[in-house]
């Protein structure tokens, strides 16, 4: 008797697919092939109740640190269950602690929770996507969003459903543990890792190894502040590694240098574009097999020495500003069982220059006769129906795998040549684009005031409205990114968009209305630039017309092949104000 004699039901197949997806990741748990972790695995000091937390006296701790000191956010399962049973929303302290489990109470914007997952490397199976669609339908608002960390968020979850949601996630081989507040956020890597013909290295094994290392080491939670890590494989799709606290950027080292020839990661630290800083190259090269150990050592040094008294100065950047990179890396080196190696950047061959919006459209993979298709989804939004149909497309025409991108889009990999046109037709029927130059493809928006108490504006709704307006008015022949962020926390990274819109309450003929400060010329791909503020406090009602003028002026006056970022860079702020106000 064979399996074919008794085919599995759809439900059984889905269960098995989820099971094998989770099982396939097991070899990475806690270790990476040939990797050496730290010289002292217990070097992360336990955050025990006592007089001080990593040297900071308890009386000096800020409010959030006191909450963490009183109760480890990982140990609140009973509290979660009690809230679910009573269908109760959390108080201020539990609102903070629930985020250790990826549950964000987003009142007063919505009297419900938002769930944020962890999807290491942005990779999902079709069964997982279908399971997430079920969560969104049964317990959420019937939709989900792709985030700027190649992750998924589901909104409108009532307290009574939080345990059902978290257990369903685990059944799917997924977790949301540590996706909020002072923890290591979703580990990102290139969305086309393993399929990009131009890449130097497939970064998915490192991203997943680190993901499982974090899940299995309690001392890597409850950091002084949030922490982002990205692996860039040197291919044609950028991961915005420069905007992360740690960016591992692949390079090739040839013969005759001071280290063995091979592929390494250059180590970049302290990217935080909301504070107007790209990550800085430390001069070190890291063997891929050592990258998990180095990341863990960096996080442990940050954990032990970061500021726990002032949230505004608690990110990694401020520790490195205080100490300098050399002292910081000396401390990191003390935690490692192997010496760190330095190499001048000039001795490294960098990867392929990234293709702007190369994650959208149809591209050949390194695997013969296979293609990936990047799907544009304005502000990362997907309905339950779209999620299921994406899962169907991945399963019926691809390999059953989907990739999420940090640009809030989705990639369908492994589509054979013969099915490309069919998949494209299906995507259009579902209401999606796949052209890289469409305006909707370049819109990136944070949650906004539909679900975030910090937001001054409805960023996602405004993003969709802007795309609709501009697409009627003009056609682009190269991609333009428009990043809308609802407050200076800059979750949508307004400083790195070609056009960055920072939400604010602004004055419009004596009334306070939703509006934006307009920044132009940001870029994090290749020649990095932070956007400069050109217009201040513009009501949203005037933004579509203003940006129409900005883009038509650029199209009319640019030099041959000049990017928007280069065009704006050769003009002063005053010149741009005059040019675009004309």
Residues in contact with ligand SF4 by CB under 6 A are 446-447, 452, 454-455, 485-487, 489-491
Instruction: Compute the least distance from the CB of residue 145 to ligand SF4, in Å.
Output: 11
DSSP-based three-state secondary structure for 266: strand
CB of 220 to ligand SF4, least distance (A): 23
Tokens of 213: 């290392």
C-alpha pair distances (Å), 73 with each of 66, 77, 105, 137, 221 = 12, 9, 15, 28, 9
CB of 411 to ligand SF4, least distance (A): 24
Q: Which residue is nearest to ligand SF4 (CB)?
A: 486
Q: Closer to ligand SF4 by CB, 200 or 491: give it.
A: 491
**Residue found under tokens 């059902």:** 164
Residue 203 neighbours by CB under 8 Å, 6+ apart: 121, 189, 190, 193, 231, 232, 233, 248, 250
Give least dist CB 527 to ligand SF4, A.
Answer: 25
Q: Residue 108, preceding bond cis, omega within 30 degrees?
A: yes
Which residues are within 8 A (CB) of 280 and not within 5 positions of it... i.e. 6 or more apart? 268, 269, 270, 271, 325
In the complex, what is the shortest distance from the CB of residue 157 to ligand SF4, in angstroms, rounded to a whole number?
A: 17
Nearer to ligand SF4, 247 or 486 (CB): 486
User: Considering beta carbons, is residue 220 or 491 the nearer one to ligand SF4?
Assistant: 491
Shortest CB 407 distance to ligand SF4, Å: 16
| Closer to ligand SF4 by Cβ: residue 323 or 454 | 454
Smaller CB separation from ligand SF4, 381 or 555? 381
| CB neighbour burial string for 163-180, b if at least 16 within 10 angstroms, e if fewer | eebbebbeebbbbbbbbb
Nearer to ligand SF4, 58 or 461 (CB): 461
Strand partners, 231: 189, 248
Structure tokens at 62: 């800020």
Report the C-alpha gap between 272 and 164 in whole angstroms: 35
* Smallest gap from residue 500 Cβ to ligand SF4 (A): 12
- When the beta carbons of 125 and 490 are compared against ligand SF4, the nearer one is 490
382 to each of 64, 132, 152, 378, 408, how far by Cα in Å? 34, 11, 10, 9, 11
CB 505 → ligand SF4: shortest distance, Å? 12
Smallest CA-to-CA distance from 456 within 405, 494, 482, 498 is with 494
Residue 75 CA, chain-centre distance (Å), reads 26
Q: Which one, 491 or 520, has the nearer CB to ligand SF4?
A: 491
């Amino acid at each position: 008797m064979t399996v074919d004699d008794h085919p599995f039901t759809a439900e059984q197949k889905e269960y098995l697919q989820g099971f094998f997806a989770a099982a396939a990741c097991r070899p990475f748990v806690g270790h990476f092939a040939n990797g050496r972790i730290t010289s002292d695995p217990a070097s992360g000091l336990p955050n025990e109740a006592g007089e001080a937390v990593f040297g900071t006296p308890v009386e000096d701790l800020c409010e959030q640190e006191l909450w963490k000191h009183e109760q480890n956010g990982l140990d609140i399962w009973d509290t979660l269950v009690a809230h679910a049973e009573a269908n109760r929303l959390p108080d201020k302290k539990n609102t903070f602690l629930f985020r250790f489990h990826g549950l964000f109470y987003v009142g007063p914007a919505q009297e419900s929770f938002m769930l944020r997952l962890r999807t290491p490397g942005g990779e999902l199976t079709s069964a997982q996507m279908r399971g997430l669609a079920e969560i969104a339908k049964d317990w959420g608002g019937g939709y989900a969003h792709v985030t700027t960390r190649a992750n998924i968020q589901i909104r409108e979850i009532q307290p009574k459903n939080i345990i059902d949601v978290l257990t369903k996630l685990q059944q799917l081989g997924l977790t949301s543990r540590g996706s909020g507040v002072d923890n290591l956020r979703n580990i990102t890597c290139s969305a086309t890792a393993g399929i990009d013909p131009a890449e130097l290295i497939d970064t998915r094994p490192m991203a997943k190894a680190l993901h499982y290392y974090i899940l299995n080491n309690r001392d890597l939670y409850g950091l002084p502040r949030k922490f982002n890590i990205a692996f860039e494989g040197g291919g044609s799709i950028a991961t915005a590694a420069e905007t992360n606290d740690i960016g591992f950027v692949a390079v090739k080292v040839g013969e005759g240098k001071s280290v063995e020839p091979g592929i390494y990661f250059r180590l970049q630290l302290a990217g935080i574009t909301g504070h107007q800083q790209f990550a800085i190259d430390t001069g070190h090269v890291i063997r891929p097999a050592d990258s998990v150990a180095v990341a863990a050592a960096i996080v442990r040094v940050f954990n032990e020495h970061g500021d726990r008294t002032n949230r505004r100065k608690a990110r990694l950047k401020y520790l490195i500003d205080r100490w300098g990179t050399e002292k910081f890396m000396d401390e990191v080196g003390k935690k490692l069982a192997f010496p760190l190696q330095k190499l001048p950047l000039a001795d490294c061959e960098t990867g392929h220059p990234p293709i702007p919006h190369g994650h959208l459209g149809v591209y050949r993979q390194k695997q013969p006769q296979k293609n990936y298709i990047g799907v544009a989804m304005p502000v990362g939004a997907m309905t339950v129906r779209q999620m299921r149909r994406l899962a169907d497309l991945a399963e019926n025409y691809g390999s059953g795998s989907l990739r999420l991108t940090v640009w809030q889009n989705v990639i369908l990999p492994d589509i054979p040549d013969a099915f490309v046109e069919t998949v494209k037709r299906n995507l259009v029927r579902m209401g999606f684009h796949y052209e890289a130059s469409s305006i909707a493809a370049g819109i990136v928006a944070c949650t906004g005031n539909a679900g975030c108490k910090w937001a001054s504006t409805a960023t996602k709704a405004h993003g969709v409205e802007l795309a609709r307006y501009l697409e009627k008015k003009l056609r682009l022949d190269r991609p333009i990114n428009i990043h809308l962020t609802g407050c200076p926390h800059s979750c949508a990274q307004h400083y790195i968009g070609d056009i960055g819109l920072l939400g604010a309450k602004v004055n419009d003929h004596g009334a306070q209305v939703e509006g934006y400060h307009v920044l132009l010329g940001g870029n994090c791909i290749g020649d990095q630039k932070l956007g400069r503020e050109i217009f201040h406090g513009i009501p949203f009602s005037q933004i579509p017309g203003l940006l129409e003028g900005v883009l038509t002026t650029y199209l009319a006056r640019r030099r041959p092949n000049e990017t928007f970022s280069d065009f704006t860079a050769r003009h002063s702020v005053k010149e741009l104000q005059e040019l675009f106000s004309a």
